[in-house]
Amino acid sequence: MQSLSIAATGMMAQQLNVEVISNNIANMSTTGFKRGRAEFQDLLYQNLRRVGANSSDAGTIVPSGVQVGLGVKTAAVNRIMTQGNMNNTENKLDVAIQGRGYFRIELPSGDDAYTRAGTFDIGPDGQLITADGYTLAPGITIPPEATDIAISADGQVQVAIPGQTAPQIVGQMELVAFANEGGLDPLGGNLFAETPASGAPTIGTPGNDGLGSVLQGFLETSNVNAVSEITSLITAQRAYEMNAKIITASDEMMSVTSNMK
């Protein structure tokens, strides 16, 4: 009975669906996290009677055939790139992106990674770094004597120096955009890597060329909606249970057949 294997593919699909939902819920408090959504496709069909086939020598056509589906498969886990809310942290080194774009991060390997989590700090050499100690690119160095830091909406970084009336410009933040943000490879630690699917990065100044602006003292929250995720979880759980019942029903039918005398 094909229903056994068909229902098994349905159970595996819903298991993956629950795993995606659980990851969303686990990251409800992760800065800049974008929720995932599992996408499914039906499998190949077994043609017992092909649609459009001739049904007689007179050339009559079968209007609708007999096709039996063989189950479901996972097509992709897409990231929903909607903007999260802005959380006021009152920390001058926290920076949120309002709109499109990513911060570029220099990894110890020399490769670039990208993130929307603007939780920065000052490293031992005065450069702005992430929580893992990776340098924000391009490198921006804060003088040790600076008493205040101001970051404008277009990413210009200024500091107040004792004895100087005018603020001193120490760097310019940049943002990076991709043609297909869903094609980025998640590395963990709120970091993404470029892939052939994402396209090449386009670097620009915040607020220009379609890039978002930056907001000092704020962090972008996760775009996970708890109510929506719980609803999806209940739906996935019920679908899993129904597939399990199909296996039970198929087993009972086979049992009836094998016990016939």
For 44-60, the three-class secondary structure string (H helix, E strand, C coil) is CEEEEECCCCECCCCCC
Would you state the pLDDT for residue 80? 92
Distance CA 115, CA 242 (A): 40
- What burial letters (b/e) apply to 24-48, b meaning 16+ CB within 10 Å? beebeeebbbbbbebebeeeeeeee
Would you state the pLDDT for residue 261? 64
Counted domains in the chain: 2
Task: Specify whether 77 is located in the same domain as 17.
Answer: yes
Task: Specify whether 230 is located in the same domain as 169.
Answer: no
The two tokens of residue 258 are 């094998």
The two tokens of residue 251 are 């087993």
Task: Specify whether 164 is located in the same domain as 177.
Answer: yes
| Residue-range definition of the domain harbouring residue 172 | 86-220
pTM, two decimal places: 0.84
Task: Specify whether 202 is located in the same domain as 102.
Answer: yes
Task: Specify whether 109 is located in the same domain as 71.
Answer: no
Task: Specify whether 108 is located in the same domain as 213.
Answer: yes
Parts of the chain with a pLDDT under 50: none
- Examine residue 138 and say whether the peptide bond preceding it is cis (omega within 30 degrees of 0): yes
Task: Specify whether 161 is located in the same domain as 149.
Answer: yes
